[in-house]
């Protein structure tokens, strides 16, 4: 028996609340179970109960065994002086207040239905399962799952908001500067995300503001800071970039010693850092006040138009500085723009709305449901249990479910787990 399960049972009244009695036979009537306390101190604050004929207002403490009270040294802690009921699975000793009066104790094991206990044990019986409920996941009603996934998506946005808030604090609330760092990281994808992020942090955004009117200057700034101009290359385009970067480096006293190296290995040519940096330069060359435009944009097709940028001319015939390739116009694909929206743009809009004291914009939810589902091992595994992920909202919700609930055995805080335990 786990204490978390007893918290869940008490909080949601998943036991026989009629004819409750203390271990000494006094009747218990629950008016309110109290507020669940997730910090130190008693487990539930401000409960209201009638024990016998006495109305009590105070705190409730929950343990597997009554003797855990002494194991946790609550008898020495003033925070527990106002406990009015000790809820336990098994009563093995009386617990006293400082005035030596006995604290009323409710032994729960006789008031919890056998089905609830059986469902709980089945859920937490590990047998090399990917998730605890994998054998029953498909049986969960679509209405429950869809509502839970929307809530999980909002939780994931909240988690990403914390990163944005840290960047805002460091940049003195410069939203454009924060956007650049996040967009740069996204352009690097998994392989070069950290590299591009370190590159963005190495450039004061005021320098980018001054350089973005000239695409060649902007490319020189990005390629130079990324350490991609340190080779002996005779191409005129490259020589001009080197010359421009040397000028910028001296003018703005640029340093790139802490910028992580870019990687080409095992990447598709379209994802080479050279291509992505040229596209990033194009985005900031073509759009001034990009953050304002993003905040004003709410429809998916308008986002696609905003981010439809290509490389400069040189990269239409190259993937690297050293080797020429077949001519192709290298424009951001919809799938890439979808990732940019999922991982950067929508979290940023969500955070901005919160900062402005606005309600969560329904347009964010609408956009997330309009973007096709991501494809990865987590989504594939969930879809093998039940074909569920149709949109980015679904896939982000499922990622949140797996990482923050399934992997941490938080079935008691999960809508799926709750349904299975009490069905």
Strand pairing category for 27-32 and 20-21: antiparallel
Note whether 224 and 329 are same-domain residues: yes
- pLDDT of 235 > 90? The answer is no
Note whether 71 and 164 are same-domain residues: no
| H-helix or E-strand spanning residue 11 | helix 3-11
Could you give the CA distance from residue 211 to residue 65 in angstroms, rounded to a whole number? 68
Could you give the CA distance from residue 143 to residue 123 in angstroms, rounded to a whole number? 21
410 lies in some domain: no
392 lies in some domain: no
- Into how many domains does the chain fold? 2
Note whether 45 and 179 are same-domain residues: no
At 193 the pLDDT is: 97
402 pLDDT band, cuts 50/70/90, is very high
375 lies in some domain: no
405 lies in some domain: no
pLDDT digits (tens, 9 = 90+) for 139-195: 999 999 999 999 999 999 999 999 999 999 999 999 999 999 999 999 999 999 999
- Give the domain-ending residue among 334, 355, 370: 370
Note whether 208 and 321 are same-domain residues: yes
First CA to last CA across the chain, in angstroms? 20
**What is the C-alpha R_g of the chain?**
29
pLDDT digits (tens, 9 = 90+) for 316-328: 999 999 889 999 9
Instruction: Please choose, from the candidates 120, 158, 165, the residue with its C-alpha nearest in 3D space to the C-alpha of residue 9.
Output: 120
Q: Dihedral of CA 128/376/400/197: which sign?
A: positive
Place of tokens 């040519």: 269
pLDDT digits (tens, 9 = 90+) for 61-120: 999 999 999 999 898 888 888 999 999 999 999 998 877 888 999 999 888 888 888 888
Could you give the CA distance from residue 250 to residue 147 in angstroms, rounded to a whole number? 55
Mean pLDDT, to the nearest integer, of 273-277? 97
Note whether 188 and 267 are same-domain residues: yes
Average pLDDT along the chain: 92
Note whether 55 and 167 are same-domain residues: no
- Give the domain-ending residue among 354, 370, 386: 370
Note whether 330 and 206 are same-domain residues: yes
Q: Which domain holds residue 183?
A: 153-370
At 2 the pLDDT is: 83
């Amino acid at each position: 028996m786990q204490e978390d399960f007893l918290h869940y049972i008490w909080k949601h009244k998943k036991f026989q609340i009629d004819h409750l009695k203390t271990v000494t036979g006094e009747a218990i009537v629950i008016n309110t179970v109290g507020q669940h306390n997730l910090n130190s101190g008693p487990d539930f604050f401000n409960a209201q109960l009638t024990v016998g004929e006495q109305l009590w207002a105070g705190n409730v403490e929950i343990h597997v065994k009554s003797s855990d009270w002494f194991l946790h040294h609550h008898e020495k802690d003033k925070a527990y002086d106002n406990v009015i009921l000790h809820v336990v699975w098994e009563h093995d000793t009386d617990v006293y207040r400082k005035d030596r009066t006995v604290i009323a104790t409710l032994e729960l094991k006789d008031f919890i239905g056998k089905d609830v206990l059986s469902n709980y044990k089945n859920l937490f019986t590990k047998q090399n399962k990917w998730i605890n409920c994998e054998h029953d996941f498909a049986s969960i009603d679509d209405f429950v799952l869809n509502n839970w996934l929307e809530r999980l998506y909002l939780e994931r946005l909240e988690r990403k908001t914390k990163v944005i808030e840290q960047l805002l604090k460091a940049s003195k609330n410069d939203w454009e500067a924060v956007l650049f760092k996040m967009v740069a990281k996204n352009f690097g994808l998994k392989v070069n995300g950290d590299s591009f992020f370190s590159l963005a942090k190495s450039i004061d955004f005021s320098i980018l503001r001054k350089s973005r009117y000239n695409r060649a200057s902007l490319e020189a700034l990005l390629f130079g800071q990324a350490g991609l101009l340190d080779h002996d290359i005779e191409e005129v385009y490259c020589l001009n970039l080197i010359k421009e970067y040397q000028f910028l480096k001296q003018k703005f006293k640029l340093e790139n010693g802490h910028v992580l190296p870019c990687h080409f290995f095992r990447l598709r040519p379209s994802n080479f850092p050279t291509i992505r940096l040229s596209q990033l330069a194009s985005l900031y060359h073509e759009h001034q006040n990009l953050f304002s435009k993003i905040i004003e944009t709410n429809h998916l097709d308008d986002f696609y138009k905003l981010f439809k940028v290509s490389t400069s001319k040189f990269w239409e015939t190259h993937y690297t500085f050293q080797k020429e390739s077949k001519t192709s116009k290298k424009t951001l694909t919809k799938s890439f723009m979808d990732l940019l929206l999922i991982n950067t743009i929508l979290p940023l809009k969500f955070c901005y709305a919160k900062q402005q004291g606005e309600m969560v914009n329904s347009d964010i939810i609408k956009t997330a449901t309009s973007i096709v589902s991501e494809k990865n091992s987590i989504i594939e595994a969930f879809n093998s249990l039940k074909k569920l992920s149709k949109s980015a909202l679904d896939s982000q919700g499922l990622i949140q479910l797996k990482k923050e609930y399934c992997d941490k055995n938080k079935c008691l805080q999960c809508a799926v787990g709750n349904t299975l335990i009490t069905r």
